[in-house]
Amino acid sequence: MKKKKIFVTGADGFIGSHLVEELVHRGYEVKALAQYNSFNSYGWLDDINSQTRKNFEKILGDIRDFSQMLEIMKGCEVVFHLASLIGIPYSYYAPQSYIDTNVTGTVNILQASRLNDVSKIIHTSTSEVYGTAQFVPIKENHPLNGQSPYSASKIGADQMAFSFFSSFDSPVSICRPFNTYGPRQSTRAVIPSIIVQLINGAETVKLGNIHSTRDFNFIKDTISGFIAIMLNEKSVGQVYNIGSNYEVSIEKVFNIISKKFNLNSKIEIQDSRKRPEKSEVERLWADNSKAILNLDWTPQYSNLSGFEKGIDETIKWFQSDENINKYKNTGYVT
């Protein structure tokens, strides 16, 4: 597998940049796709250390352009498909763009992979496809429930991936990460939002729904899950929850982080940070037993102690002036 050329879409993002970094460190030949822009920016790929950046190919493009994907993918044997629109609040304002990118873009990647005889496609799903948990912990056979245009578009993308496996015997596997957190994450996500507000000395931390629960998965565990799926020959046609199997409320997350800053900050509920009532996913808690039993993967940041360890690493990264200065202090990011 180490001789195979790997194509990563969404490589400029939070998770994608970490995946590219780890693949290069493991000796793979990587072609990394960032979304085209006129600033010649490759997103978070520009922040990978210079020695690592020399060892992978960077390309600007757009997964919505099928002919471009067909050409770019030539010679690649493995595809990690991470490119998508992910902001849930923005999906309320621009739902069509989520269909164009997340569904049509995924079909383009699947079709281009098929025509280029790619030997393994790892498609990225999300725990949001489950909606509010109907039973816990959530297994991979949990019903899918699109409570936002974003989650509905990801359900559509997942089903297209399955359809290519069923219809064309495409070698597709689905990685379904729960709420990933860590260095480089956008402040639209709750953990970086809390950390950055506290670093800036906020006496009150602005949050939305503090009673919902999530299964937070540290970035290193998410990346090792992706790679474990790639390396397992029996993962084709399967979906795997990549989560910590530890459930925690947003209020408790705030309490854990604020204690590490030794601050007496309070919570201020901000309506603009809340989802519409019927769209709020109240509870997510991963059953990760399938991945643990069938893949060479075990989360290293599970349970309360693991979560706190991941929080410590995340805080340390954000406390660097070089890193936090990359974030605009413009309030809530949708």
Phi then psi for residue 153, to 5 deg, are -65, -35
- For residue 333, tell me if it sits in a domain: no
Domain with 125, as residue range(s), is 5-181+218-242
State residue 328's pLDDT score.
80
Q: Is residue 141 part of a domain?
A: yes
Are 109 and 229 within one domain?
yes
Cβ–Cβ < 8 Å for 23, 48 = no
What does the pLDDT look like over 11-67, one tens digit per residue?
A: 999 999 999 999 999 999 999 999 999 999 999 999 999 999 999 999 999 999 999
Measure the CA–CA gap between 305 and 203, rounded to whole angstroms: 27
Kindly state whether residue 330 falls inside one of the protein's structural domains. no
Same domain, 125 and 257: no
Q: Are residues 104 and 228 in the same domain?
A: yes
Mean pLDDT of the region 242-261: 97
Phi-psi group of 128: left, alpha or beta (phi > 0 → left; psi -120 to 50 → alpha; rest → beta):
alpha
Each residue's pLDDT tens digit, 273-298: 999 999 999 999 999 999 999 999 99
Residue located via tokens 């769209």: 279
Separation CA 5–CA 77 (nearest Å): 6
Q: How far apart are CA 301 and CA 157, in angstroms?
A: 29
Could you tell me if 115 and 144 lie in one domain?
yes
On whether both 225 and 315 belong to a single domain, the answer is no
Assess if residue 121 is contained within a domain.
yes
Q: Are residues 149 and 11 in the same domain?
A: yes
pTM of this prediction exceeds 0.85: yes
User: What pLDDT sits at residue 49?
Assistant: 95
Task: Decide if 295 is inside a domain.
Answer: no
pLDDT in tens, 80-91: 999 999 999 999
Within 13 Å, how many C-alpha atoms sit on residue 135's CB side? 6
Q: What is the pLDDT of residue 2?
A: 52
Tell me the residue type at 80.
Answer: F
User: Is 127 found in the same domain as 34?
Assistant: yes
Query: Residue 333: is its pLDDT beyond 80?
Result: no
What is the pLDDT at residue 331? Answer: 63
Number of structural domains found in the chain: 2
Q: Are 12 and 44 in contact (CB under 8 A)?
A: yes
pLDDT digits (tens, 9 = 90+) for 211-250: 999 999 999 999 999 999 999 999 999 999 999 999 999 9
Averaged pLDDT for residues 300-316: 98
256 in a domain, yes or no? yes
Instruction: Provide the CATH number for the domain around residue 101.
Output: 3.40.50.720
* pLDDT for the residue numbered 4: 83
Q: Per-residue pLDDT tens for 150-183? A: 999 999 999 999 999 999 999 999 999 999 999 9
The token pair that represents 104 in the structure block: 């049509």
